[in-house]
Structure 1
Amino acid sequence: MRQAPILKPKFRKRQINKAWLPTHIYHAKRAHMTPPSEPLWRMAIPLSPTAKTYRPTHRAGTVRGAIAWDMSYMSTIGLSGPEGSIRNLLASIGVPWAEESTSTGPKASRWLTGTRSWNGWLHEHGTVPKAYIAPATIFWCVHEASDTTKTTDTRRQVMVRIHPSAFFQLWAETLRLSKLQRPVVFVEDLRYEIGSIELAGPAAAEAMIGTLWPSLQDSLHEPDSPSQVLSRLGNVTDASALPAGAMISTETSDPRLHHPPRSKKLNKTETLEAQQSLARLLTEWHVDRTQGPAALFSRQARHDAGHRLPTQKAINRRKSLAPPGEYPAAVEGDPKIPTLVLASRRAAGGTSTGTWTILLPWKCVLPVWYSLMYQPLSTGGNPRLGGLDQRRQLHFESGTPWFPGDYPATPAGAAWNARESTKRHEAWSRRPKGKRIEYESLDLGRGRKGEVGAGWSCEWGLLCGGSEGQSKSDKPVWHIPMHEALQAMRDTGTNSRTEGQQQGDASGLVTVKLTLLTRGVPTTCARVYRLPKTDAKLRAEWLSLLSLSKEKARHKATAVVPPLSRDAPVHERRRQLAASLLEPPAMPQAGDDGYPDTPDPDELLGFVTGGNFNLGEGRGTAIGSLALQRILEQEKHGLGEHERICIVRNVGQSIGRLARWDLV
């Protein structure tokens, strides 16, 4: 296992039980960090900038500007060995494109060639049901140009990027499977050797292009080379416009030679010819045939880039010798920083743009970061600093679950939710008894008293046959990805499910996006109910509320009555009176006597893991987990248009809100 790099002696005592990011000192002056005695995933991670950033983060991520994160805490595992052995190992942990039967398609072939990346879920080998670990990104190193005879014995290299909370679980599984391969696969821990920076927002590509200057050798390449293609992407406002899983490998120069950065001159795209040129670049994508082996896979290249960087004093000397107003000229001995750029697409139907991930050696992250944060943008300002909270916010607004918080059925997600539950319980205990919610005396209507489960946590055991108060550790649950959940819903009513699949269905959780159909804002730990099955009267009340909300929305969109002036004639006043009489009946407001009560605990469907007011949609939304078995029970009854309607009740409150859930 690789150890954290040793820093200056005056900083060593501060890293006894944690490691620092390459940009720790920059963040410590501008952001709220994790407490010194409570590191997150064994590292000191910035949580949020000290300035107010909720609305500015929404604008920078979706409308104007860019936002950047130091993602060097992400873990990287390197695999090297014969191609056949590596593919067998990857197929064992859930990579479908590594299997022989599914590796013939164009997407899989590009991934195996090394010009595309794969994103998906990995699981442990041989478990029933499948024990999913975490989502990961996997990409190959391109073959050498001299390799004309490609066989399964050809030595290849692969990198696997995964969240640090699931690193040890994947490391142990990969190490075990590598010893079973013949020939053997070598596994390498690349933490603290490869760092990364992530960018999001319409101006993210512009900031990235202004920071990554090609090295002297790359600047002389042909127009279709990866470095030249990268320099022409400044006008791209959404990384989703690039091919799925696009990768660009290049070598860049020391950004300190071009500091302070200047606004990048972008090609104007107002003319039809310029727009067509950019469209041809994105559709033809010459990088697929011009991409060479990525220097980032070479240990020697990573070592040289990190240890041959000149001192700041040498940089200042070269800048003083340059002509006024010009950057120092590139020379043959300048260090080359191996860089790999990954473009990821946004979620389907989301409001945010795609993201750009820059992979580079660990010791080269800091100079690139400083140049990036001071890069002027054409829309004004500089890229914004992002922390863990801003990353969760953009995931939430785009309707994308955030790992590990929104996946409580995984070991990493269970640990995160247990940690957050403990913090909420401690905050609740510190409040005086007169100023905190007494969950035991909560009135849920119809003579029911007390909250369902603990008010500061999500009782997942209640969804899988457990009794109230039974924790998730007592009643294990399994994560079910969206494609498996859809297959289970299609197989409802048939006998095609295997014993292992039925076991996973009985205790499986699926991740969903919840959209409120009426007013209200869902919060974390909110309870999600299905429409009542046993109480027909209560079910009819909720369905009538649903029909009233639809009718009111339809009437509001079509029949807008303008206000009348004071001197309006009598016949117009009568016409307006008649129109008001034809309006749909008023909906009962939350808290009124006619508002329906929440269903019984037997109708519990799941819990909310994160909710708030969504600035992108202008309404309350949430991300939660629902019990797959209870969803399949609804599928058997064939509820039609009411199949995905649910009721969301915030913890500590007795009022429910109608919502619609969708698998994500």
Structure 2
Amino acid sequence: MSRQLGKGAGGGVDSKTYRKLKKKQSRQIRTEINDPALNKDGVLNVNDFLKSRRYEINELEKAQLNSKFSSSSRTFQSLPRKLRRRTASHNVKRIPKRMRNRAIREMANETSGIKKKPLKGKQLYRARTLRNLLKLAARANLMRLVPVDKRLSAGRLRIRQRIKTLNEQLQNSKDSEKFIKINNNIGSYDVSALNQLASPPIGKIKYMKRQRKFTWLSTHVWHSKRSHLVKRWGFQIPLKPTQKSFRLSHRNFNLTGAIIWDKSYINTMIIQSDNIQSIADTLSSLTNGKAIGKRYLQNGGIYDGLIYKNDEIIGTGTTIFFKSSDEETKRLIVRLHPAIYQSVFDHLLSIKTEDVEIIDTRYAIGSIDVGGPIALSTLGTILKPANKSSEESKLFGKLCTENTLPDNTVFTYQAIDPRLANRNKPRPNKSTNIIDTLIDMKVTKANINTKIVDNLLTSQGRTNSYENQLSLKQIAAQKNIQSSNESKDVTSFPVIIYKTNNNIWTVLLPWYWVLPVWHAMNHIAHMNHGGILQSHQLNFEQNKLFFPDDYPFTSAGFVDHLIAAKEKEEKWEKKPIAKKINYDKLKIRNDDYEKGEIGNPFTADWRYLQLLKFGLNQVKSDKNTRTSAWTEKFTRKIEEPHDVYNFIKDVKNTDKESDSRGEKLTIPVQLYDPKKVPGPPSSPDDPLSISPIKIELVSRGFTSDNARIYSIPEPELNKWIKSTNTKRPTGKKQHEYPEVPTSKNLIGFITSGSYNLSRGLNTGVGYIDATYLKKVTSGQKQQKKYCVIRNVGTDFGRLASWESIDI
């Protein structure tokens, strides 16, 4: 039986009928059938006509409001997606403050609700014990002490033992080895190390055990409620927002708003010396001679590109050069991806001279990236200068309203606590000539205050910025001060803001100031947070490579591909047999020697491509006349085409055995050097030279990661081009394509492929064999170059055009 409603609700109808009736009534708009403005003779009375239209307009507005709130009768149901929370239906603290009173009134009228069950037994005991631990932690903060005893975060110590240990240490707090003395009540302190790697920060006592292997960013708790996180490279890093954000990220970055990232996991080191030649030699070693000259060794000189170790590319990074206020100490900021940071740090320690010092500040200097049309104006809104009369502050105030400042622009100034600063949006100054201002800035370097740079790049300067840093309760008390005569001591901190070639502004600031700035910036309209996938997406839309995903010739990129392949394979194995593709029985082409999917179906199999090119170069006959032959060392002879594919299987099995024994596998590919003549590998262990390309599909279809790239034999090229223009008698395109080329035509893989919102079609970036690239480009420089793209697990290909890209 359906539940009946009372007379007051729906007159005895069931709930389903009542909801339909309510919805129908909310969408009705009343109108006047007989228009009183027209008399019997058909003459229009203007006054009556206006009154009649006013009535209809009012009814239209009422209908819009009724329709809007007919299905959202509660406060938490009318919130935008970004502000919705799962517990908002019964917890008013999850509702914005401006709407909280209405929610409280609604909950007071509720007869049924979720009642929290009181804790009992072990749960009650654990809660009380944890409360005692937090009391001791609060006491340590009030005493301005941070415990550094590693036993507190060890997994073996239980809560009671941790309480006992911390209590004993607090009673003997004069012991400086067990505590770090700080200058604030919220636990902020500087974590850096000279000529050695720094230890991770202690973190809150409540969350110590969770950070034993992977350090939290200062915005971790904020992100944990709004993003998916991944544990990689010693950090817990935001991967992507929980809310759908593919199109939203594109719009905000390119059209209307901005995207913000917490990039504190990009590690920072400082190389300093009194000898500028030592800094120049170190910079030249890191960049393989690319960053040489006055351009990179002047105040604010930026290099953003490839990083080398022993003349080999290991990743990407950014360097910024600064001089100290006394111009004696020269400092080089080096920012690197965490996958390569330790390797570079150890390498620099081994080659540095005695007059060079290397400071590890990966847990001391944090960073926030902002990209989009309102990126710089948002920074001007949130980060207000402490000294508005200074030259660097005036210059930033003039330029922060501009959208098109040149790359490698740098600003430095002292910013006040964004929680207490007014958030008035900066207004453009019409009397300012932007070009003249930029020229003056380049000549005078008024945008760089070396004292502020010293405050950020020295441990003492960062520690001073934490002095009397306010908690949230103290911030609320400061805001509630009504007396205008009472002075407010607003804390400030140094910032360095610079722009890279990705149209992104990076803010460098002390580690424990990242969270206050992050909270303030996320209150700006049209500001959305991003993760690793959003950075990858925006690089992809600009046809740029993303580290480490699109760098398979580096150690970090190759390992990243192996990890991704393992995750995909585990996910595939969990599927039932009826729901997963059988890659071994995939029929791509009947006359091909390779049966099933080419190579490892879960990744771009560069090892397969390397062995294929080596084997095809060894083939002496195109016919299959006999079975395989073997050498004296029990290795397969490669004389006929079928020997190549059997040889690849043999080597793959050997690689699996080596991997199971824990032996280090060599990287099968290397980046093509234009100075050298490319050729096929001379041995199974000789790396294959590859070159980056971008592709665009000529007609319909889609590209995905790890898609296979084939060259098109010359006799079949015209067939493929004609197939994209073939039409049916009805005038529609036929979309029938020739067979996919054979496996011997495999030339590369797509590392990143998807729908490109900037281009409005499917594109991809990847790598192809440099020998094929040289062969094609040497004869046809201006002709359009074509290839066939086949996604993993499919038996058909799509025609695509390709072009080389710079790395």
TM-score by length of 1: 0.78
**Aligned 8 A contact 1:510 1:628 in 2:** yes
Residues 642/441 of structure 1: CA separation in 2 closer, same or farther (3 Å cut)? farther
Distance in 2, Cα, partners of 1:504 & 1:371: 54
Query: 1:310 pairs with 470, 487, 492, which one?
Result: 470
Which secondary structure state, in structure 1, belongs to the residue aligned with residue 400 of structure 2? coil
Identity value in percent = 28
Distance in 1, Cα, partners of 2:684 & 2:322: 39
Query: 1:55 pairs with 237, 247, 251, which one?
Result: 247
Which secondary structure state, in structure 2, belongs to the residue aligned with residue 141 of structure 1? strand
Counterparts in 2 of 1:407-422, with a 5 A limit? 407-422=551-566
1:8 paired with 2:211, answer no
**Aligned 8 A contact 1:116 1:246 in 2:** no
Distance in 2, Cα, partners of 1:525 & 1:435: 21
Counterparts in 2 of 1:582-593, with a 5 A limit? 588-589=734-735, 592=736
Counterparts in 2 of 1:113-124, with a 5 A limit? 113-124=298-309
Residues 282/478 of structure 1: CA separation in 2 closer, same or farther (3 Å cut)? farther
**Aligned 8 A contact 1:342 1:357 in 2:** yes
Letter in 2 for 1:232: K
**Aligned 8 A contact 2:252 2:526 in 1:** no
Q: Which has the larger radius of gyration?
A: 2
Distance in 1, Cα, partners of 2:492 & 2:229: 32
User: Which residue is 1:634 aligned to?
Assistant: 776
**Aligned 8 A contact 1:505 1:629 in 2:** no
Counterparts in 2 of 1:265-304, with a 5 A limit? 265-267=426-428, 277-286=433-442, 288-290=444-446, 291-293=448-450, 294=453, 295-304=455-464
Distance in 2, Cα, partners of 1:329 & 1:64: 39
Query: 2:717 pairs with 532, 535, 539, which one?
Result: 539
**Aligned 8 A contact 1:219 1:227 in 2:** yes
Deviations 1:220-249, CA, capped at 9 Å, x for gaps: 22xxx2222222233323xxx323312111
User: Which residue is 1:219 aligned to?
Assistant: 388
Residues 462/57 of structure 1: CA separation in 2 closer, same or farther (3 Å cut)? same
User: Which residue is 1:431 aligned to?
Assistant: 575
1:456 paired with 2:613, answer no
Distance in 1, Cα, partners of 2:684 & 2:303: 29
Letter in 1 for 2:428: N
Distance in 2, Cα, partners of 1:3 & 1:133: 24
CA shift for structure 1 position 385: 1.4
Counterparts in 2 of 1:347-366, with a 5 A limit? 354-366=503-515
Residues 265/387 of structure 1: CA separation in 2 closer, same or farther (3 Å cut)? same
Query: 2:228 pairs with 29, 32, 37, which one?
Result: 32
**Aligned 8 A contact 1:606 1:626 in 2:** yes
Deviations 1:217-276, CA, capped at 9 Å, x for gaps: x3122xxx2222222233323xxx323312111111111212xx64514227xxxx55x7
Q: Compare relative contact order (CA 8 Å, sep 6+) and give the higher one, 1 or 2.
A: 1
Distance in 1, Cα, partners of 2:587 & 2:781: 33
Distance in 1, Cα, partners of 2:397 & 2:684: 52
Distance in 2, Cα, partners of 1:196 & 1:344: 14
Distance in 2, Cα, partners of 1:446 & 1:641: 35
CA shift for structure 1 position 475: 5.8
Letter in 2 for 1:234: C
CA shift for structure 1 position 520: 1.1
Letter in 1 for 2:261: W
User: Which residue is 2:213 aligned to?
Assistant: 17
Distance in 2, Cα, partners of 1:651 & 1:538: 22
**Aligned 8 A contact 2:709 2:789 in 1:** yes
Which secondary structure state, in structure 1, belongs to the residue aligned with residue 373 of structure 2? coil
**Aligned 8 A contact 2:555 2:667 in 1:** no
User: Which residue is 1:247 aligned to?
Assistant: 410
Distance in 2, Cα, partners of 1:53 & 1:233: 30
Residues 524/97 of structure 1: CA separation in 2 closer, same or farther (3 Å cut)? closer
Residues 316/541 of structure 1: CA separation in 2 closer, same or farther (3 Å cut)? same
1:659 paired with 2:805, answer no
1:92 paired with 2:285, answer yes
**Aligned 8 A contact 1:606 1:627 in 2:** yes
Counterparts in 2 of 1:119-518, with a 5 A limit? 119-125=304-310, 130-144=311-325, 147=327, 155-178=329-352, 181=353, 183-215=354-386, 218-221=387-390, 225-237=391-403, 241-258=404-421, 262-267=423-428, 277-286=433-442, 288-290=444-446, 291-293=448-450, 294=453, 295-322=455-482, 331=489, 334-346=490-502, 354-375=503-524, 381-448=525-592, 449-466=595-612, 468=648, 476-480=667-671, 484-485=673-674, 507-518=688-699
CA shift for structure 1 position 598: 1.4
Deviations 1:170-227, CA, capped at 9 Å, x for gaps: 112111111xx3x442112111100000001111112111111101xx3122xxx222
CA shift for structure 1 position 322: 4.4
CA shift for structure 1 position 661: 2.3
CA shift for structure 1 position 89: 2.0
**Aligned 8 A contact 1:33 1:46 in 2:** yes
CA shift for structure 1 position 630: 2.6
Structure 2: runs of 5 or more not aligned:
1-196, 613-646, 656-663
TM-score by length of 2: 0.64
Residues 504/456 of structure 1: CA separation in 2 closer, same or farther (3 Å cut)? closer
User: Which residue is 1:568 aligned to?
Assistant: none
Structure 1: runs of 5 or more not aligned:
104-108, 148-153, 347-353, 376-380, 553-579
Residues 177/432 of structure 1: CA separation in 2 closer, same or farther (3 Å cut)? same
1:645 paired with 2:791, answer no
Deviations 1:502-541, CA, capped at 9 Å, x for gaps: 9999622322222112211100110011222xxx433342
**Aligned 8 A contact 2:670 2:687 in 1:** no
Residues 194/457 of structure 1: CA separation in 2 closer, same or farther (3 Å cut)? same
Which secondary structure state, in structure 2, belongs to the residue aligned with residue 339 of structure 1? strand
Residues 368/455 of structure 1: CA separation in 2 closer, same or farther (3 Å cut)? same
Bigger Cα displacement from structure 2, 131-140 vs 444-453? 444-453
Distance in 2, Cα, partners of 1:453 & 1:97: 37
Distance in 1, Cα, partners of 2:510 & 2:336: 17
Deviations 1:134-193, CA, capped at 9 Å, x for gaps: 11100111353x54xxxxxx5311110010111122112111111xx3x44211211110
Deviations 1:424-453, CA, capped at 9 Å, x for gaps: 111111112222111112122343331111
1:111 paired with 2:296, answer yes
Distance in 1, Cα, partners of 2:344 & 2:283: 12
Aligned residues: CA RMSD? 3.1
**Aligned 8 A contact 2:302 2:320 in 1:** yes
Residues 45/624 of structure 1: CA separation in 2 closer, same or farther (3 Å cut)? same
Deviations 1:107-128, CA, capped at 9 Å, x for gaps: xx24311223111211112xxx
**Aligned 8 A contact 1:166 1:412 in 2:** yes
Which secondary structure state, in structure 1, belongs to the residue aligned with residue 599 of structure 2? coil
Counterparts in 2 of 1:555-570, with a 5 A limit? none
CA shift for structure 1 position 602: 1.6
CA shift for structure 1 position 59: 0.5
Query: 2:762 pairs with 620, 623, 628, which one?
Result: 620
CA shift for structure 1 position 650: 0.6
CA shift for structure 1 position 413: 0.6
Letter in 1 for 2:798: R
Which secondary structure state, in structure 1, belongs to the residue aligned with residue 420 of structure 2? helix
Which secondary structure state, in structure 2, belongs to the residue aligned with residue 655 of structure 1? coil
